Amino acid sequence: MRADPADYKLVSPGNLQAVLSLLADEPAQWLPIAGGTDVMVLYSAGKLPNRKLINIWSIPELRRIDSLPDRIRIGAACTYTTLRRNEIILREFPLLALAASWTGGIANQNRGTLGGNIANASPAADSLPALLVYDAELTLVSVRGERRVPYRTFHMGYKKTALAADELIRDISLPRKFSGYIPHARKVGARNAQAISKVCLAALGQVSNGTIRAVRLALGSVAPVPLRLGETEQLLTGGKIELSLINAARKSVIQEIRPIDDIRSTARYRASVAANLVAEFVEKLAVAGTNA
């Protein structure tokens, strides 16, 4: 059954404080909407439970990218198109720019927002593993003030987050400390474009004389939440790149993740692919170490 527009109310306050006041006055009753790429899917199917929507698309504080000496601050309503075209993001955070280019088609990239991707909390979202490896921090705001939350703690379960009913994601901060890392990302889906990932990987690493000095790994679509592979990172750090280390990393990945069977893939396939993607990255580090 399709939705009836008469059943819904949409307001456009025009400024952030007015949005926060509405959220405070009626917690959990108002749903912020920016690009609408996720919301409109539910609306078109008649499955959108929220009847009151707040348009936050044009609020200036949410559309800016600020370059600070120690970090870059991305407004929650910045689009994927903005992310993949921004020179600093392309240069210093290429995994995020690449993930933005993977997300849907051009129309979705022009409307879909990074904050919406985070708040939607799908474990298959393309941008979220990149945020994990880049140590993202979220600024959550309400009439009570603001608080900063490490992104790694934001997802608390499938579609469950640390966002309170009266809060809004204002911005996402990324520390500018990854210039010496080798970036790597892969997405495995049913086709090359406009596909929800079966597995996606974001990874950063440093290697010297065939030894892994530092490594950061995150996967999507392999657990109820986007997953940082802490145990596998610990296993790899300080290790000499050789076949035994790669095989040990494969086993570690399979032990850390919790994939499921669904319409897009099977748990067994996801586990195998995830292990292969991490092994591929370690092999890339080996080549980089040889050529350094």
Predicted confidence (pLDDT) per residue in 108-157, tens digit: 889 999 999 999 999 989 999 999 999 999 999 999 999 999 999 999 99
Integer Cα distance of 270 and 292 in angstroms:
33
Q: Which amino acid is at 25?
A: D
- What are the tens digits of pLDDT across the range 178-197? 999 999 999 997 655 566 78
Strands (E), 167-240: 168-175, 182-188, 199-208, 211-220, 227-228
Residue 58 scores a pLDDT above 70:
yes
Q: Give me the torsion for CA of 258, 140, 162, 168, rounded to 10°.
A: -100
User: What confidence category does residue 91 fall into, taking pLDDT thresholds of 50, 70 and 90?
Assistant: very high
110 or 234: which leads in pLDDT: 234
195 or 51: which leads in pLDDT: 51
Contact yes or no for 127/99 (Cβ under 8 A)? yes
